[in-house]
Structure 1
Amino acid sequence: MAAFAHSAPCWVDVQLPDLEAGKRFYGELFGWTFRAGEEVERGGSGVDALSGGKLVAALAAKQDGRMPTAWGIYFATDDIAATVTRIRQAGGQVITEPVRVGSAGVLAQAADPGGAVFGLWQAGDRSGFQKQNEPGSFCWTEVYTRQKDRVDAFYERVFGFRGTDLGAAGMGESGRGESGTKEPGTGGPGSTEAGTGEPGTGESETPESEPPESEPPESETPEPETPETPESGPVESGIGGSGADMPGADFRMWSPAGTEPGPDTAIGGRSVITDAFPAEMPSYFLNYFAVADCDATAETGVHLGGRVSVPPFDIPYGRMAVLHDNQGAEFAVLQPPVSR
């Protein structure tokens, strides 16, 4: 079984106060079905989420009310011990030391110099997504930070990412390939891994607790006070900020080591939290899911008890919106542009 390329996003999960409510929300929103996760050592509970019978994510019941209700991202590594060492050397923090999860693989949790939390996964029997960059599955991730220089250097050292700054050659609409239809991430994780296997069942944990038996832990995504229009706030600086159409934006796309940096190979990005937001707002990752109809998805999310924090709007990569589910977890949705 082929594993994900080193540094590719390979899994997402969400920690929720009410697992059953989460299943109802995401089942209707994305058409996901669910299956019970593996037994968790400390009695936790979680489920795998499937789209068209293929693994796409996991939902976990929070074991501690102090844990954030948030979506977390995990990066693949072929040597988790070496990656953990690089994290420390590059100024990051290791929250959870590498822990074996049965035969599934090995997990760890870390934070970058700006405080954004992410997971590591070294595959055993399970690799990660079985489906991505298609409606109902993960398609992109980006970190929001106030310490862009330290964070850029960190990810480049730890994962070997190669950066392309917004406004550089090939970053505008004309840089999305001849058809101009490519969505974020389709040249990254979609082309650098086989899309087989699964890293777990959604059981995440806090830095204060021991790691779970199944899914890697999730990142701490805050729920900032969100602007009323997509022209303000962190989204302005990221892929949600319409790329080269916003000359003042400060955004960097990351491509894996060994690839030509640019949108065709990008697997994620870095944006900047501006002074317009409270100083106590922490760094965090925002994860995107591909959808067939952005407006309909946003409307459905509200109908299901969620809320839209950034209404649907067009960007060079399609049409996107930022939502919170019915329990507060934040995520984005992206509808790719129609092929020409």
Structure 2
Amino acid sequence: MTEAAQATRRTPGTPCWVSLMVHSLGTTEDFYADLFGWEYVAGPEQLGPYVRALLDGQEVAGIGEMPPDRHLPVAWTTYLATDDADATAEAIRSCGGTVAVGPLDAGIAGRVAICSDPLGAIFGIWQAASRMGTQLHGAPGTPVWNELVTQDSSTVGKFYEHVFGHEALTHETASDDFDYLTLRLEGRPVAAVHGVGRSLPHDRGPHWMAYFEVADTDEAAARVAGLGGRVVEPPREGPHGRVATVADPEGAVFTLVRSHPET
């Protein structure tokens, strides 16, 4: 491992990047630039038309454009860190998951794969080369949390424990009516699993949800609507702060959050 990679290494299993594949790259760039203040740089070229979003000169997320003949659902993808993408891909297969793309080389970014867990939620894995993922944390416009929304937390929680070494703990607010696990690594929470049973959206299925920090959830949700997106679930209080679930103009769903000071 190079010194640069050592300096930016994330504990395997830690969410380290979020990326979006769309049909119209330019239009989507404009939407998130207006919403979050993102600027962009191109590449890596191995991923086709692809840009990295910057805030204050630091990378926070990626957006790519699908080939014209591909008509896949438009959705944010959460990437989990790994020291060995090939070994992790094999562990995913052996634990009942699927490896749909890769692992493949992404130039100086490292090695990546697109996978799904046993219930069908899509996620990525990323073995870093010279740098690792999101470089700015906590500021408005940055991804701050990732949550798996699925039918039931227990079965799929075991999958992430076995593959990535997560410790899946029942959240302190969980109850018979609120199925929620926190995934921990080295004693700290890195993600969560929310079992919603029959309330799972029929048009989405199990999915990873990316949360983006905002200064004001209500104002940001209204801005989404004004920019051509839509509000899926209006602003409300959640376990991590005031949240709103929204979608961009191409339908990619994500959550806005104004975190509690202690989270």
TM-score by length of 2: 0.91
1:15 corresponds in structure 2 to: 21
Q: Aligned letter for 1:253?
A: T
Q: Aligned letter for 1:4?
A: R
Counterpart Cα distance in 1 of 2:36 and 2:108: 30
Greater relative contact order, per chain length (Cα 8 Å cut-off, separation 6+): 1
Equivalent pairs, count: 255
1:55 corresponds in structure 2 to: 59
1:331 corresponds in structure 2 to: 254
Counterpart Cα distance in 2 of 1:151 and 1:158: 11
1:28 corresponds in structure 2 to: 34
Correspondence list, 1:135-284, <5 A: 135-166=140-171, 171=172, 243=173, 248-256=177-185, 259-260=186-187, 265-277=188-200, 281-284=204-207
Counterpart Cα distance in 2 of 1:291 and 1:154: 32
Q: 1:38 to 1:97 in 2, by over 3 A?
A: closer
Indicate which of 107, 110, 118 corresponds to 1:105: 110
Deviation of residue 247 (structure 1)? 5.9
1:319 corresponds in structure 2 to: 242
Counterpart Cα distance in 2 of 1:25 and 1:279: 26
Indicate which of 310, 313, 316 corresponds to 2:233: 310
What's the CA shift string for 1:187-214, capped at 9, x where partnerless? xxxxxxxxxxxxxxxxxxxxxxxxxxxx
- State the SS of the aligned residue for 1:119: strand
Q: 1:109 to 1:129 in 2, by over 3 A?
A: same
Deviation of residue 337 (structure 1)? 2.5
Question: Structure 1, unaligned stretches of length 5 or more?
Answer: 172-242
Deviation of residue 147 (structure 1)? 4.5
Indicate if the aligned counterparts of 1:19 and 1:61 stay in contact, CA closer than 8 A: yes
Please give the root-mean-square deviation of Cα atoms over the aligned residues, in Å. 1.8
Indicate if the aligned counterparts of 1:4 and 1:128 stay in contact, CA closer than 8 A: no
Question: Structure 2, unaligned stretches of length 5 or more?
Answer: none
Q: Which has the higher helix share?
A: 2
2:99 corresponds in structure 1 to: 94
Q: Which has the higher strand share?
A: 2
Runs of 4+ in 1 over 4 A off after TM superposition: 277-281
Deviation of residue 153 (structure 1)? 1.0
TM-score by length of 1: 0.71
